[in-house]
Amino acid sequence: MTHTAAEPALLAAGAAEGPEEPGPLPTGRADAVVFVVGDAERAARRYRAALGLGCTAYAGPETGDPEAVSYVLTGPGTRIVLTSPVQVIGPRGRELAAHLARYGDGVLDLAVGVPDVHYAYDHAVDRGALSLAEPYEVRDRFGSVVLATIGVPGGGRHTLVDRAGYAGPYLPGYEPFSGW
């Protein structure tokens, strides 16, 4: 069976066990694929037209992020975030600029939705995943999201996301987008 972004993906051994017998780590779902690109607006317009996705959220200097602009595209079972650095003044801007300089446009992060970020993070780190950010909570007027980030072999990273207490367009700091 082939897994798609809309289907559950197991994060650990235990995949052979049936749905009645969960493995040691709760199943997760692809939450978002985060790309770093040279021009997020242009890329968002192209992806929107080519893939028929809707642009549902935006973050940038106008929403409190002075270092980057991000557009969130969504469709059935799909969420793509396209991010570009605006200015390099802190760690986030440096990370985005370095990724672009080293790899060009490409995937920065695969976010995975999990029911318990603390448990999933501890489970992964105890089994050798590199801790990039311990679990933390972010809030805005739409509620709160719990996040943690782990490094995976090959230099990639996964952000673990629990958005059970969140009703906003994507994450705190993002605003609903109605342009274009």
Q: The pTM is what?
A: 0.83
User: pLDDT grade, residue 24 (50/70/90)?
Assistant: low
- Of 5-14, 26-35, 170-179, give the lowest mean pLDDT range: 5-14
CA distances from 99 to 40, 47, 105, 131, 132 (A): 14, 21, 8, 19, 16
Average pLDDT over residues 31-38: 97
pLDDT of residue 62: 93
Look at residue 3 and tell me whether its pLDDT is greater than 70: no
pLDDT per residue over 124-150, tens digit each?
999 999 999 999 999 999 999 999 999
pLDDT of residue 90: 93
| Residues in CB range of 26: below 8 A, 6 or more apart | 114, 115, 116, 119, 120
CA 145 to the chain's CA centroid: 12
pLDDT per residue over 60-114, tens digit each?
999 999 999 999 999 998 999 999 999 999 999 999 999 999 999 999 999 999 9
